[in-house]
Amino acid sequence: MIVKSLEDIIGTNNETTSENWTSRRFIMKKDNVGFSLNDTIIKAGTTNFFWYKNHIEAVYCIEGEGEIEKLETGEVYQIKPGTMYLLNENDKHELRARTQMRMVCVFNPPLVGTESHTKEGYYPLLTE
């Protein structure tokens, strides 16, 4: 059994921060469960381009409001607490946060934990 609290992660190497977001990594590849789990804060008023060409990501919003645009089609979806979206086609997307958003994110394959977005918006596929 693995038990962790947010207090165990904040301020450690398992917390990654950029200009627009902070990701707290609860479960990673080293936990050997086949996925990774992050608690992510998206800053209010930010526009974020992401493209996970190497991962499938499921996101569940638990706080805040914004919208996601699937860039290939221009489709825009409103995001609020209780909304889930799945990037099952490695979708290039833009997430725009009207207010601070808190998201629970699941990645497959799992993140190692040291990934950071490339300038193209994706995480490299790390093995260690």
Pairwise CA distance, residues 77 & 72, whole Å: 14
Q: Write the CA distances from 58 to 62, 88, 92, integer angstroms.
A: 13, 8, 14
Instruction: Note the pLDDT of residue 120.
Output: 72
Question: Per-residue confidence of the chain (128 residues) as pLDDT tens digits?
Answer: 999 999 999 999 999 999 999 999 999 999 999 999 999 999 999 999 998 888 899 999 999 999 999 999 999 999 999 999 999 999 999 999 999 999 999 999 998 876 666 677 667 666 66
- Full DSSP string of 62-94: EE--EEEEETTTTEEEEE-TT-EEEETT--EEE
Q: Is 30 helix (H, G, I), strand (E, B) or coil?
A: helix
Instruction: Note the pLDDT of residue 113.
Output: 72
pTM comes to 0.90
Q: How far apart are the first and last CA of the chain?
A: 22
Pairwise CA distance, residues 87 & 93, whole Å: 9
Domains and CATH numbers, the chain: 6-108 (2.60.120.10)
